[in-house]
A and B are shown apart, each in its own frame.
Chain A
Amino acid sequence: MSNLDGFEKIVKDKLQQQQYDYDSSQWNAIEKRLPPPKKGFPWKYIAAASTFTIASILLWQLQNTENQPVKTSDISISALTDSLKITSKESYISNSTKQIDEGIESAIIVDDHALIEMDQTGQIDEPENVDNTIEKVVINQVPVEPLLKDETQEYSNLSEIDKVDPQSSKIARPSAQFTITAKEACVGEKLTFNSLNKLEDTRYNWDFGNGETSENRFPVYSYKVPGIYYVQLKATSTKHEEIINVSDKIAIQINPTPSVDFSWVENTYNAVPTVEFTNLSEHADSWNWNFQNGIISDEKNPIITFKKKGFYQITLTASNVHGCVKISQQELEVVTDYNLLAPNSFTPNADGINDDFIPEALKILNVGFEMTIFDKRGLIYQSRSLSNPWTGENQRDGGFCTQGAYVWIVKYKNQQGIDQIYKGTINLLH
C-alpha cells in the first residue's frame, strides 16, 4: 500500500533502519526451549509424564476455583506460580512427544496466560487511556476461570499459523492428489488417472470435466472430443463423511486424432499395371504406407505396381502435428504376376520370329532404361536403347551365347522418379 501520508512514511523509514547486534545469549535461551535433537534419552518422556501430573493437578485446582471471587483464585494462582514456570518450560519438551492429551495442552496455555495476566495487572502503563478503567472493572468482575477459558479459545483463533483443524490432526485426511499418464493426449487415447492417496476407507469422485465421472481409485478413461478438460478428484473418508479433500482442477488437452481410410483403383491394362491409392484420411499431416511388397511410401496418394500375384495387407498410418496416430489396414488382391511383359524365351536364329529379347513393356513406356543380361560368370550384355535388344551376343568375349537360361535385369525411373527394378530369366534357344 503506497497511500501512506508523510508522517507515516517518516516513521516507517525510521523503523526500517532498526538494527540489532547478534546476541549469542539469545540463541542459548532459545536452544534451551527447543525440543532436544532426535536421539535424546527418554528424559522427555519422564518430563512429559511429570508435566502431565502437574498439569492435571493444576487443572483440577483451577476447576475447583470456579464461581469463586477473584481474590481467592488470585492467591491460588500466585501460590502456584513457581511450579507453573516449570511446566511452561517443559511444555515444549512435551509438545515434541505429541502424545499428550489435548486437555493438558490447553491447561498449559492457560497457565502461561495466567502468568502474564498476573504480571500485567500489576503494572498498567497507560494512565492516559480512558479505556483502562473499563478494563480494570472487567477484570475484577469476571471470575478467573471463565475468563481464562475465553482466552484459550481466542488463542487458537488468533494464531493463524498455529491454526490446525483439531479433526484433521487426529483423523487422517485422504489425499486428493493424483497423476495422469499424460496431460496432453489424443482423442480415444486411454488415460490412467492415478490417485496418490494411500489411505483405505476412501471414496473417490472423479470429475473428468465433461460431465462424466468415475468412482474408481485408478480409472482409465478416454475422451471422444478434442478440447481442454479440467479434471478434479474429491477424496472423502468413508469413516467420516466430513473429512474431504478436493484437488485442484487439472487441465488436460485432448488433441484431434486423424481419421484414416483409403481406397484404390487398379489399372490392369496399362503397359505397367498400377494401383492408384486414394487417401481418405482427415486431421492428418503425414502418412506412411506399407504395401507389404518391400515398398513403403510417405506420399499422400501413391501409385504402386505389384509384380507378384497374391494378397497384400496394405497399411496406412496417418499422423498429425500433435503426434496423434491412427492406422488402417486393408487387403488387396493382385491376380497376375507382372514382369514388364517380358517373354521367357527367344530364338536368335534369324528366322524373323522371336529373334531378340527385350521386355515388351519398355517398348510402350517410352522411358530411359538400362537392361543387363547375366550368365553364371557375370555380365555379358548391356543396353540402354530400344533399338539394341539382346540378340544373344556376348559382349564380354565378343562371341555368341550358347543355349541356356540367362538372367535379365531392367532398371528405370517411373514418373514419380522412383527406381524400378525388374528381374527375370530368359531361355535362349537355338
Chain B
Amino acid sequence: MKNSIKVERAKKNITQAELAKLAKVSRQTINAMELGKYVPSTVLSLRLAQIFEVDVSQIFTLEKSDWE
C-alpha cells in the first residue's frame, strides 16, 4: 500500500513530530508509515484524513501487490 502522508504533511507544512502529536501516536510510527514499513489501522487512517482534511482514499492507495 502506498501513502502520501509526506506530501500531505508538506502541504500543511508540519513536521513528523507535530503530526505525531496531532494524531496521538509516536513520531516513530509516522516515520514508519511514511517509509511504508507500517500499515496503520483504520482508526489511525481516519484520524490522519481528518487532520489533513482530505478523504482517506486520497492518502492511501492500493498497489498490485496488495492483491496477492
A and B from one complex: no
Interface of B toward A, CB cutoff 8 Å:
none
